[in-house]
Amino acid sequence: MMLTCRELAEQADAFLDEETSLTQRLQFRLHMSMCNGCARFIGQMRVTRSLITAEARSLKAGQDDKTVDTCIDSILAAFNDGKQSGV
């Protein structure tokens, strides 16, 4: 039976994570070949997922070296104080 657009959109994550069965994947592909709305939606979800990953990388790469150094110094000092006092 033909998937509706709503059903396809609701299962988009499973499709993109390749957690769907062969039959489901064929149903997805058949639907998208005839429905440019759903083909666009899946394309948008792919881009969204790339951006979510890229955002995390960007935040990590953008950490200020001086701030990181200060935080690490503070953590290591607290750790070493604890060791000396036997905590």
Partner 1 sequence: MTAQAENDAEIVRGLTAGERGAFESLYRRHNVSMVRVASAILRNRASAEEVAHETWIAVLRNIEGFEARSSLAGWIFTILSNKAKTRVKRDGRVVSLDTAANDDDFADAFDGRGRWKDKPDLWDEMTPERVVAGRQILDHVSTAIEELPPAQRAVLVLRAQQELESQEVCEILEITEGNMRILLHRARRTLRQAINEVAS
Least separation in angstroms between CB 18 and partner 1: 14
What's the CA gap between 46 and 61, in Å, rounded? Answer: 23
Cβ distance to partner 1 smaller for residue 25 or 37: 37
Cβ distance to partner 1 smaller for residue 25 or 49: 49
| Residue 56 vs residues 16, 42, 52, 86: alpha-carbon distances, Å | 20, 22, 7, 37
Cβ distance to partner 1 smaller for residue 22 or 47: 47
The site for partner 1 (CB under 8 A) is made up of 4-7, 9-10, 12-13, 36-38, 40-41, 43-45, 47-56, 58-60, 63, 68, 71-72, 74-76, 78-79, 82
Least separation in angstroms between CB 10 and partner 1: 8
Query: Cα–chain-centroid distance for residue 78?
Result: 34
State the Cα angle at 77 between 74 and 80, rounded to 5°. 150
